Amino acid sequence: MHLLCAVWVGVFLLFTSRTSVNAQMRTENGGVNSPETPTWQQYFRIQISEQLEEIHLHQQLTLGLTPKLELSLNLTNKIHHRASFLDANGEHESEVMRGPGDPKIRLKLNLFQKDGVLSSTRFALLSHLQIPAGNDDRRDGGRRIPRALQLGTGDWQFGGGAAFTVIRNRHRFSTHLVYNHRTRHEGIRLGSSIDWNLAYWMRISPVIFDPENPKAEIRGVIELLNRYQFSGMDATSRTGERGLLLSLAPGIQIYPKPDLLLEASLELPIFGNLDDPQGDRRWGALFSVKFFF
């Protein structure tokens, strides 16, 4: 099955005349949405691995509850294509699964923000909760397939972290560090994880920003995505599924007009030693559109 493209919506809001508080693509930033401007996002994500090909359709509502506090609700529908595997009769098969994934709630609390002329420094705390609502009981020949390949995870997940952003005219640097804790489900706890992302963003055009005569903007983005997954636990001992995933994600953002954002990004693995049911990660992609209300 060939999966070629995706649409993804960016996460945040314009700041002072079009200096953006948008996330680079996958990396959080220290700014929050204004209470006067809720955002609705819809985006596709594609991830191709050795044993699984995924298309995820996300719908996300982001609200500024106060000038310092932001709430997001993310709903997901998924298509999973399992690559060739042996069925109960020893024959090679493939399978497509469709259905909702697990919804996720996220809070962001901005603790520090200092704004200047086309400049800003921001720091925020992050927290999230993922609710086990997707189907995690798909079976093959009476045997449940690995939870990592299911549409739902089956377990409650929660965690938190921090995001830091610096904007100076055409340039921006952001980083976030987030821990995700996984709970036991039917006696088994899959591995918790830590994500540490680094991102650099530059406004390519226009070189000089004129708030009195705004033009279409083009921005280049490069992100370094790091995830370390810890070992899980079965009924009596730790499992061996632990390791590091490291990817590079170049992308582009285009603002044809102030209330419309288009984005495209690739995810290119550069290192991975995680031994799990998905197998080697091969590539991923995001393509998005976002409207600002």
In the chain, where the domains are located: 14-292
pLDDT tens per residue, range 186-201: 888 899 999 999 999 9
pLDDT tens per residue, range 20-64: 445 568 999 999 989 988 888 888 899 999 889 999 999 889 999
Q: Per CATH, which fold does 14-292 belong to?
A: Porin (2.40.160)
pLDDT tens per residue, range 250-286: 999 998 887 788 899 999 999 999 988 888 999 999 9
Match 């921090």 to its residue by tokens: 162
pLDDT on residue 84:
59
> Taking 80 as the threshold, does the pLDDT of residue 14 lie above it?
no
d(CA 35, CA 15): 13
pLDDT tens per residue, range 69-127: 999 999 999 999 887 555 555 555 678 899 999 999 999 999 999 999 889 999 999 99
DSSP-derived pairing of the beta strands 281-292 and 104-116: unpaired
> Taking 60 as the threshold, does the pLDDT of residue 7 lie above it?
no
First-to-last alpha carbon distance for the chain, in angstroms, is 37
Nearest CA to 280 out of 236, 243, 252, 251 is that of 243
> What's the mean pLDDT in 134-156?
86
